């Protein structure tokens, strides 16, 4: 990866490239879930400046179990869009709504997941990111934090939560920092896993080899910051 290219990506905002945006209606997209239910998503335009994403969950018995509506101001979110995804590959799809974008590749995002107990679409996640994926039982949000650094936020999915996952409820953070030479080549990578303890963050070991693979983000050899061995320092929970 070349540092000059990374710096340009960091300085240019996607919204700066967008021309005057207008709402464009989209016909429904549909997916079948493993339990026999169907999830559909369409885009409506109440005005040329307002998008409305409408998701419907049709249960296996053919009844509409739930209907979700999310509105966006087109001027504030010229690159806003929504889609149907299967984050963890379990055959049960989610609704992902992307919103306002900042400098670089990070954009707001909200995910709504089917609650099998209530057969409703529940607000599952809210954040700002480049990519969202599930690795070894953890939800991993990745985003650029500077021209030469990426930050990853991790939530252990088997841990019960009262509300949507967000920055304040994350379990672990991973910082992957790259150093370079005058020619723009990556010469070093430092990878650090941390966990919140009071007002501070302490270094912990990766919970699993699958999660340590995050350190290979730049495709180069990396140094892993050793965990804090101070008595009483928290440990990263074991991988799922």
Q: Which pLDDT tens digit goes with each residue over 25-58? A: 998 999 999 999 999 999 999 899 999 999 999 9
- Cβ within 8 Å of residue 191, ≥6 positions away: 174, 175, 176, 177, 212, 214, 215, 222, 223, 224, 225
**Calpha distance 201→174 (Å, rounded):** 11
pTM for the full predicted model: 0.85
Q: Tell which residue, 223, 172, 216, has the closest CA to residue 194.
A: 172
For residue 7, is pLDDT > 80?
A: no
Written as one string, the DSSP assignment of 73-129 is ETTT-TT-EEEEE-TTSSS--EEEEEEEE-STT-EEEEEEEEETTTTEEEEEEEEEE
**pLDDT at residue 183 above 50?**
yes
Confidence category of residue 235, pLDDT binned at 50, 70, 90 = low
The sheet carrying 120-129 orders its strands as: 81-85, 94-101, 107-115, 120-129
Q: Which residue has the higher pLDDT, 218 or 18?
A: 218
Q: What is the pLDDT of residues 201-225, one digit of tens each?
A: 999 999 999 999 999 999 999 999 9
């Amino acid at each position: 990866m070349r540092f000059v290219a990374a710096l340009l990506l960091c300085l240019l905002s996607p919204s700066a490239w967008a021309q005057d945006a207008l709402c464009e209606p989209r016909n429904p997209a549909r997916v079948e879930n493993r339990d026999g239910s169907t999830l559909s998503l369409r885009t409506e335009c109440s005005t040329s400046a307002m998008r409305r994403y409408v998701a419907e969950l049709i249960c296996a018995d053919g009844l509409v179990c739930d209907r979700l509506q999310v509105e966006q101001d087109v001027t504030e979110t010229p690159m806003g869009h929504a889609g149907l995804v299967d984050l963890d590959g379990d055959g049960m799809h989610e609704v992902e709504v992307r919103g306002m974008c900042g400098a670089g590749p990070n954009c707001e995002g909200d995910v709504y997941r089917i609650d099998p107990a209530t057969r409703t679409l529940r607000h599952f996640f809210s954040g700002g990111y480049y990519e969202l994926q599930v690795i070894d039982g953890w939800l991993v949000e990745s985003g650029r934090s500077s021209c030469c650094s990426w930050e990853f936020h991790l939530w252990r999915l088997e841990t019960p939560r009262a509300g949507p996952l967000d920055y304040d409820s994350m379990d672990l953070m991973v910082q992957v920092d790259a150093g370079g030479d005058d020619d723009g080549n990556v010469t070093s990578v430092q990878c650090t896993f941390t966990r919140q303890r009071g007002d501070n963050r302490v270094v912990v070991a990766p919970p699993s080899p699958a999660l340590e693979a995050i350190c290979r983000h730049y495709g180069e050899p990396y140094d892993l910051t050793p965990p804090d061995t101070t008595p009483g320092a928290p440990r990263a929970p074991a991988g799922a």
